[in-house]
Amino acid sequence: MLRQEEGSRAVAEAVALCRPEVISAYPISPQTHIVEHLSDLVRTGQLAPCEYLMVESEFAAMSAAIGASAAGARTFTATASQGLLYMVEALYNASGLGLPIVMTIANRAIGAPINIWNDHSDSMSQRDSGWIQLYAETNQEALDMHIQAFRIAEEISLPVMVCMDGFILTHAYEEVDIPDQEAVDAFLPAFEPRQVLDPADPVTIGAMVGPEAFFEVRYLAHAKQIQALDLIPEVTRDFEAAFGRPSGGLVRSYRAEDAETIVVALGSVLGTVEDVIDEMREAGVPIGALALKSFRPFPLNEVREALADATRVVVLEKNLAVGIGGVVSANVRTALSGIQLHGYTVVAGLGGRSITRESLHRLFEQAIRDELKPLNFLDLKTEIVERELERTHQGTPSGPHEENILRDIGVVASEPH
Amino acid sequence: MPYQEIKLYQAGTFVAGNRLLDPEQRSVQARMERSNALTSGHRACQGCGEALGARYVLDSAMRATDGKLVATNATGCLEVFSTPYPESSWQLPWIHSLFGNAPAVATGVAAALKAKGRDDVRVIGQGGDGGTLDIGFACLSGMFERNDDVLFVCYDNEAYMNTGVQRSSATPPAARTANTKPLGGQPGNVFGKGKNAPLIAMAHEIPYVATATVAELRDLEAKVERAMEMRGARYIHVFVPCPLGWGSASRDTIRIARLVKETGMFPVFEAEDGEVTSVSKIRRRVPVEEYLKLQRRYAHLFGDPPQTEVIAQIQARADRNIRNFGLLADADEGGELPGAAEDVAGDTPSGGDPARTAEGETNLMRLLASSPHGPQ
């Protein structure tokens, strides 16, 4: 059914259609609307049977999800930013135990300085946690990916994160098509756990494993993610057959045929990127885009194939691997091993800084002229940074960076331009 | 008391053989159909109080639930000695996730069972004092506050034994641990303000809180049975000596567990909905030295000269417990014994008069010395 709906609410409805039996969550912006709506659905009996646990931390949220999933319940939670970091120990445990929990990440920056706005620092920090990571471009895709996520998770017995941009998607109202219960029931079979805590057939889950077998258990996690490279496209095909629209998958190319320049990105920024590409294509510039939908497992072959004929690649990413540059570009470069083409990393949009069409136009034109450096920071206010660096070089206690910079911005903003 | 009390002082023991009991009154552990939930062959140290406690707790809970029980376990000795791959000592469905999350994992299991309509399957969480009072405390408090249908059992051996005997917030004052060594001063933990987990549990007003020791295993079984009759969050704190960490003889585990109660250092009681409902009385009051001397972690208190001030401080704490919990037994409660100390028979709420205590101790020591088998 087509509805004008907030992204969070649309995702909550999609999750409810998947009939989760346990939801455990702790509030953190911008994830709150998702779990608040699920709480309403449980309290009104529209989602039943389902236990909604209001736990005391994200660490407890993931821990309760581990217990629920191990007891054979379809389990959901959602978090973001600091919350994701606070549950990290349990995150690795959930994937290590092979528990098919589904979790929404409402992508948000990580402090300090504390910041509630969107970038991908949170989920990217967990790229090696053993969770499958899917990135949604639109609210429709976020909704659809959740329905697919439960099936992927349960078929392969691994947890799945569905990442959607905080505020940009979670709080945006868009037209979405919310499927009906019958169609979702037909697409998503009942959860048949690979392992379950059952008094009728007692098992020990989470035993201590030494050097004689740890390696193999760990490798299995990798082997399963590699299997997911086949499973994810299969689930996407089934989804399209059942619901009549493409959503998810591993990668998606946009106007990349004959493109000399290809922009690689994840998430909602692709909407702006594609608008700019359309404008440049109209002006005859051979430029296209590659959307990464699955970041873990990373589709090396698909990325390599999609980029093989280009002459340059611009990786636009909303996170910063401090001390080296880009997380996504390092992965893309692995896919391009042995292929000689110009590669540029562009770090953009940290802490919710707008990524505008104007800036992207300028950036892509610079890229085409090969004027970019290997690592670039889109719309970084370098004069502010230099002023603060100068202050710290003066030796005396120079005070907190964020306070100094905010004061400088006030001064700069009040100066006539 | 839900079970038949046995008083055979003439045998020099508080424990009677089950053969003297009505079959219905026999302990879970004495029954043919006991579940052996933590079965033999595990790798606990000789004399491990935690293994003993866990065995009795789980078998009792298994009997109370007709074998429909799921256990979650914090990281620690209990987890390590019971599951070295590819072996497992657990004969019930059991999950270990992390050090600090056993109560929350139990919450999740309970929620899943509820959603599936499996109210017949019950959940027990377990951990040591580190996993319960320190790293797992937030999860424990959350589980209490929500009144989740979980019995959580803390096996308290008063330090981080699995990592090599480091101090925890349950480590008592003056106890020597791996990070309270005699470097730059006297060995031993500082006299802090303490962290009384059972009282904190009671402050959540959960349906049931109890303490127990592995010296009175029938009492422990009965408390687990009582807990399993109830729904909601329940907590049992079991005192479990650790021969390795405490520097005590393996054969003294039960003796030490008995003395900790008889000195007043560890009050054994039950509470429902935040109110103390019963207290296990001290029957032969013992000075704290008798407890301390059996453990090398306190050896520095008994050098030449002995640290009498520190010992007096520990005694003062025990005396305060005795006053606060009313731990001294009246004569009709079995407090009057042949040759018993005056302070025991007196049963005054302020029974900590040093002179009287000293005299009583002498009498008691004479009594114990006259037994051919010692205080056992």
Q: How far apart are CA A415 and CA A411, in angstroms?
A: 6
Task: Name the pLDDT band for B1 (thresholds 50, 70, 90).
Answer: very low
Q: CA of B158 to nearest chain A CA: how many angstroms apart? A: 23
Of B93, B101, B108, the CB nearest to A22: B108
Contact between chains at A90 and B97 (C-beta distance less than 8 A): yes
What pLDDT was estimated at residue A253? 98
Instruction: Please count the residue pairs, one from chain A and one from chain B, whose beta carbons lie less than 8 angstroms apart.
Output: 163
Which chain A residues are within 8 Å of B93, Cβ to Cβ?
197-199, 201-203, 205
Which chain B residues are within 8 Å of A66, Cβ to Cβ?
95, 97, 101, 105, 108
Query: Is residue B351 over pLDDT 50?
Result: no
What pLDDT was estimated at residue A413? 58
Q: How far apart are CA A170 and CA A172, in angstroms?
A: 6
Higher pLDDT, B4 or B132: B132
What pLDDT was estimated at residue B4? 63
What pLDDT was estimated at residue A407? 85
Q: Among B77, B85, B97, B139, pick the best mutation site for testing chain A contact (most A Cβ within 10 A).
A: B97
Q: DSSP readout, B13-48?
A: -S---GGGS-GGGS-GGGSTT---SB-TT--PPTT-
Residue ranges of chain A with per-residue pLDDT less than 70? 411-417
Which chain A residues are within 8 Å of B113, Cβ to Cβ?
71
Which residues make Cβ contacts (< 8 Å) with residue B255, sequence separation at least 6?
Answer: B215, B294, B375, B376
Q: CA of A35 to nearest chain B CA: how many angstroms apart? A: 17
| Span of A41-55, A170-184, B1-15, B244-258 with lowest mean pLDDT | B1-15
Asked whether B345 and B282 are in contact (CB, 8 A), the reply is no
- In B51-70, the residues whose Cβ lies within 8 Å of chain A are 67-70
Task: Name the pLDDT band for B6 (thresholds 50, 70, 90).
Answer: low
Contact between chains at B108 and A204 (C-beta distance less than 8 A): no
Which chain B residues are within 8 Å of A57, Cβ to Cβ?
138-139, 142
What pLDDT was estimated at residue B26? 79
* Percent of chain B with pLDDT strictly greater than 70: 82
Task: Name the pLDDT band for B185 (thresholds 50, 70, 90).
Answer: confident
Query: Is residue B292 over pLDDT 80?
Result: yes
Mean pLDDT of B12-25: 60
Query: Is residue B358 over pLDDT 90?
Result: no
Query: Is residue B337 over pLDDT 70?
Result: no
Which chain A residues are within 8 Å of B116, Cβ to Cβ?
21, 49, 71-73
Contact between chains at A63 and B101 (C-beta distance less than 8 A): yes
What pLDDT was estimated at residue A152? 98
Write the single-letter amino acid at A157. Answer: S
Which chain B residues are within 8 Å of A97, Cβ to Cβ?
97
Distances (CA, A) of A297 to A222, A293, A301, B177, B305: 9, 10, 11, 46, 68
Q: What is the pLDDT of residues B83-131, one digit of tens each?
A: 987 889 999 999 999 999 999 999 999 999 999 999 999 999 999 999 9
Contact between chains at A90 and B86 (C-beta distance less than 8 A): no
Query: Is residue B348 over pLDDT 80?
Result: no
Task: Name the pLDDT band for B52 (thresholds 50, 70, 90).
Answer: very high
Of A71, A93, A203, the CB nearest to B112: A71
Q: CA of B142 to nearest chain A CA: how many angstroms apart? A: 6
Instruction: Give me the count of residues in chain A.
Output: 417
Asked whether A295 and A133 are in contact (CB, 8 A), the reply is yes
Give CB contacts under 8 A, 24+ apart, made by A230-236.
A231/A152, A231/A155, A231/A156, A232/A132, A232/A134, A232/A148, A232/A152, A232/A294, A232/A297, A235/A148, A235/A151, A235/A152, A235/A155, A236/A148
